Structure formats: C-alpha cells, structure tokens
Structure 1
C-alpha cells in the first residue's frame, strides 16, 4: 500500500514537473538552437537546419550510448534550469504587477494612470450631465446621449474601477476589495483575512486558490514571453512568439486578478457576522460599519483607552 502511494505521488510530481518546467524549457531550448543555427539571415531555411541535424547524427559521438545518455540528461537539466529561471522571473513579474509606486519609474507610471483616469472621469461626467439634461428636457437625442455616457463610463472602468494608486492595473484590482471594505464596513481586510480564510468552505477556498494559481500562471507566461523577446535579437521570428505570450499573459493576469478580488470581497461580505460570532463579538443591533470597526480593533489587538 505504501509503495503504491509513493509511486502514485512520484508520478504526480513528475507529471507536474514535466508540465511546468521541462516541456516549456525544452521548447525554449529548441528555439535557442534554431536561432543559433539559422540566425536572421537564414531565418526560414529549414534545409539548413536539417543539414545541421544530419551532421550531428552522423558524428561518431552519436553512436555511443553513454554520450547519448549524457546529452539527454544535459538537455533535461538545461530545460529544468530554464524553467526554474522562468518561474523565478514570473514571480518578479507578479510582484511588479502589485508593486506600490516607489521609485521614480513606478511613481511616474502611477501618476500617468491617475491622469488618464481623471481625464476619462471628466469626460464621463460631462457626458452624464448632458444625458441627464437631455432626458429632463425631453430631447430627441436623449437615448443617444445616454448611450454615449455609458460608453464613457466603460472607458473609465477599463483604466481602473476607482482612482488608481498603483503603477499597473492588477495592483489596483487586488487592492480594491480592501479599500471598498474599509469604506463600507470599516473592516481592515489584511487583519481579517486569515480568520476569514479559516471560516471559508472548502469549495470557496478551492475557487480562491484556483484564481490565485491562474494569476501566477499568467505572470509565468509573461516571463516566457520576455525570454522569447530577448531571443529575437538573434532570430526575429521569436519576437512573434514573445509578443503573443506577453499579451496573453497580461490579459489572463487581469482576468485572474479581477476574479480573485471579487471572490475575496464576496467572502468578507458573506462572513462578516460569522467572523464576529466566532470571535465572541456581540453584533445584535450593530450595523455593518460599527461591527467592522469593532472587529478591526479586536483583530489589531488594540485596547480601549481606560
């Protein structure tokens, strides 16, 4: 029984290692080899690549089983190292997405997003006032102006759902639940989160973990894209792969960040009174704002003044 369990566990670990590190690393090493053999001048010369492979297969070393074994082990090790490097770079991308505006570059990006949002907000408010005036006056183009105001609202929302504070949209999306919960309930999400997590059902935890893993996978995809963009310095078709990977990773990251933020906020909204009951806080007769203040004070381990 134990040996069967260990075999199954080893198979799962090997499968995950192959999917997460080895296969993407092998593809990248293949692209690197192609880039070195063809370069920019012969970027589509398949015959040149075939000739190089034939010469490699005809070499005396290719007839030695030991040499082949060492070469295969070296390729797999190189693929694993490349995959681990991409994984580390993906963690850096994820941290960058959620970074605070520290330093001149990040502060400039955050200010730029804030200016864009303020400009879009001014345009939306102008369109909203025009649509409201037309509806009050019974103008013929009231419906058209209302549609324009809706489009301007959507354009503002694509920048950020609220005035942006981070250099990138993912940071604002992930910070939005904490801000909204503080404004609505005076609940500090950072202090309450471990307790809310313990109160959550298994299905809710699985949904949150899946959204979090999708965000990590999106950042890793961007990291692979950056690697292919660097490889394009020697073989330009790699830029196409890198551009698609980065664009897809950013799009997936936005969707995953939005899903994780919505699930986080929903968990806090649904379990606010459950949290109070589990902590022994009386909530009868209290509105959510007063209850949130009491919970925040308790979770911060603050004491009332004597």
Structure 2
C-alpha cells in the first residue's frame, strides 16, 4: 500500500526539468514583491533582486542612462536688472489722461473761471468790509451823538464904550466834550430894532461832558448908535444877541464838527439910567447849521 506522496523538492524538480528540457532556463523561486522595501529612484536595485525578481527584470534590463531624470527642486535665484533713468515703466491711469486732455482743450475757460472766482471773492470781501464799516459808523453815530448846547443870558452891563454880556453855557452831551470857537469872519452882535449896538468875538471855551461854564462877552459899541426910548422910561427894551460858533465834539478818537447858531431874545429895563441893567426876560435858541 502506498503512502501519501510527498511534494517534489526543489532539487528534484530542478533535475527533472533539466532532464526533460535541457534547453529551458532553470526555474527560479519567486519572492513576493510586496515584501520588498521601497527603492529610491536614483539607486539601482541590488544584484540578487536583479536576478531573482521577475517583476523588476523588464525595468532593470533597461540601461541606467535611458531612465528619466528625477524631478529636481528649482533653486531660488536673484537677478539684478539695471534700468536707465530716462525710461518710465509706469503708466498713469486713464482718468489722469482724460483730466489732462480736458485741461488742455479748455485752458482759456479754466483761466476765465479762475479770474471770475477771484473777482467774486474780492467783491464779497469788499461787501463784508463795507457792512462792517457801516455798522461801526452807525454805532458811533448813535452812541456819540452831539446834543445842542444850551445858552442863557445872566447879566448885561453898560459901559461908556462897550457892553458886557455874561452867558451861561452848558454842554448836555453826556459822553463827549466840546470846544467852542468863533468862526472865521463871524462876529457876535447885539442889536436893537435891527440896529447894531455892539459887536465882538466869542472867546475859546472848552467844556467837559455835561459841563457848565460862564463866559463874558465884551462888545464894542454904545447906545448912541440907535434911537432909544427917553431916559426914565420904564418900558422894557427888546435886544437881540446873535452869534455863530464852531463846536468841536470829542470822545477819544471820535471827533465831530458842528456849526451852532445861537439867537437870544432879551427884554431889559434901565439900559440908559442904571449901571446894572435889569433882565425882565430872556430866551436863547440854539441849532446846528449842518
């Protein structure tokens, strides 16, 4: 009875194959390719792999020089480029070109617009300056406004060749002083029924704001220049004192010139007999001429 048949050994198989087929190449034992380690692309496989692996034999049969080169990593390089200074490699945006073209096409219009704006600003500045100046002028006019002076006759005395008239002058302006001066070619006159009894000048007089002063006028003349009532008559005599003065009102830098016309109507008794004339009534009127 035959036992189980053993598998033929490698030696037996090798010899049998040599006997049967002398021309065939010897059979080899195949190693699983999954057990091979991963090979670098640049290193060639070992000699025993080259002889005993069927999967690698077609590739390894190719000469090493015919294999494609491995992928190389490019190295970073630096380049120096020299550009002439007179070359411009920057192109402005199209909006700039349109703006320049618009300016070049209408230079006269742009110049005219600039001149118009300049004239407009000058005109506005002049108007503003005029308004400010007008406001200042109105303020000064209403704040520093001269008031008519007040005159009153307090005393009249008769001398052989002249008359002495004492006046009370008052400046009612509260914020401005005043200086009274006689106008050129003007005189103070004392008349009776349009006949001049005496003439003279008004002395220079300075008054403070709301000031009051006495002033004495010396008028050259006599009662002989007119037909007077007889001596001893108790009938009042009406006299007229007239003068035109230049009044200069001042308050710091503010100065105003005014011409003042003063007319005083006075009734007196004893003009011919007594040394002291009695004033029955008097009234002085002042007004600005300008």
Ranked by relative contact order (alpha carbons within 8 Å, sequence separation 6 or more), the top structure is 1
The two structures have a TM-score, normalised by structure 1, of 0.21
More helix by share: 1
Quick check: which has more Rg, 1 or 2? 2
The two structures have a TM-score, normalised by structure 2, of 0.22
More strand by share: 2
